[in-house]
């Protein structure tokens, strides 16, 4: 079982990878949540819980196909 920290790290890595690829803090996501979770090697409910937690912390905002990085500094400080 993955720790919450490693789930968070996988999500942060995914977001930073997409941020660099797309060149924007507004990330267009073509994958479903299930596909995103599979891509990261985590369970979909764990992905959803952590995304909600990150939203509550003011790091991101999201809907079905877009994730907005609101606090890029919080992500950049991890890399």
Is pLDDT above 70 for 16? Answer: yes
pLDDT per residue as tens digits for the range 48-71: 999 999 999 999 999 989 999 999
How many percent of the chain have pLDDT more than 90?
Answer: 82
CATH number of the structural domain spanning residue 38: 1.10.10.10
33 contacts: CB under 8 Å, gap ≥ 6: 44, 47, 48
Please give the tally of structural domains in the chain: 1
Kindly state the average pLDDT of the residues 4-33.
Answer: 92
How many percent of the chain have pLDDT more than 70?
Answer: 91
Number of H helices, E strands in the chain: 4, 3
- Give pLDDT, residue 75: 84
Give the Cβ contact number of residue 14 at 10 Å: 18
* Domain containing residue 66: 4-76
């Amino acid at each position: 079982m993955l720790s919450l920290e490693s789930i968070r790290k996988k999500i942060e890595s995914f977001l930073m990878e997409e941020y660099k690829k797309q060149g924007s803090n507004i990330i267009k996501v073509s994958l479903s949540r299930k596909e995103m979770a599979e891509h990261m090697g985590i369970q979909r409910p764990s992905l959803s819980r952590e995304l909600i937690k990150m939203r509550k912390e003011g790091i991101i905002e999201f809907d079905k196909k877009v994730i907005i990085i609101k606090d890029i500094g919080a992500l950049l400080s991890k890399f």
